[in-house]
Amino acid sequence: KARLIYLQKYTKALINNPAIDREMKMEIQMQFNSHPREDLDNGISWLENKCIQPALDILDNQADAVIRNTVRDTMIAVIMSPFKSLDSIVILSRNGKMFLDLVKLYNQHPGMIQTFRFAKDVMMIITSVNILNYTERLTEKLMRNIPILNRTTDDVIQGIGVGILTTSVGKAAINRCRAFY
């Protein structure tokens, strides 16, 4: 019974989420009003399948757009940056903004533990970028005979690595924000 009450509150929060369009809110409200309240098992599965999942699917699509934009911006910044020491600051700020945008999109308020887990993810990104800086030296030695590829290849490799890691952080943030169970 407590789970059904929780899912009802969660559904009401989704109905009030400003990121969901008006038509979808009306559809969720209609499904919410017609869910079986007496039968706990059917009521729970009804809310999860007819109300919560469709709303989260819409939010997921918007969250994917936020991640794609952040990955694009971060990769371009890292590839084009002449100052390798500033890459970590760019990565940290862009990923922090992405996380806050995702939290705002899902209209969630993360607890302390979730915030610390995200901070750990960001620190892992910075560590990985530093590891990619070490691979720059290896690539430089391998490509030193091709002048054009020497610097460009290193920047592209680092940019791709940052893009992959930013995507991982974004997907982890989505999983935290959308977890209703």
Q: In the chain, what's the furthest Cα-to-Cα distance?
A: 75
Res 26: pLDDT: 94
Query: HSE (CB half, 13 Å, CA atoms) of 29?
Result: 10
| Residues in Cβ contact with 146 at an 8 Å cutoff, skipping those fewer than 6 apart | none
Sign of the torsion angle spanned by Cα atoms 88, 103, 70, 157: positive
Query: CB within 8 A of 62, min separation 6: which ones?
Result: 19, 105
pLDDT tier, 142 (very low <50, low <70, confident <90, very high otherwise): low
Calculate mean pLDDT across residues 157-169.
Answer: 80
pLDDT at 122: 64
- The answer to whether residue 129 scores a pLDDT higher than 70 is no
**163-166 contact pairs (CB < 8 A, 24+):** 163/71, 163/74, 163/75, 165/124, 165/125, 165/128, 165/129, 166/67, 166/70, 166/71, 166/74, 166/75, 166/91, 166/94, 166/95, 166/98, 166/125
Residues 16-35 have a mean pLDDT of 91
pTM: 0.76
Instruction: Give mean pLDDT, residues 1-6.
Output: 90
More confident residue, 149 or 25: 25
Name the helix (H) or strand (E) containing 4: helix 2-15
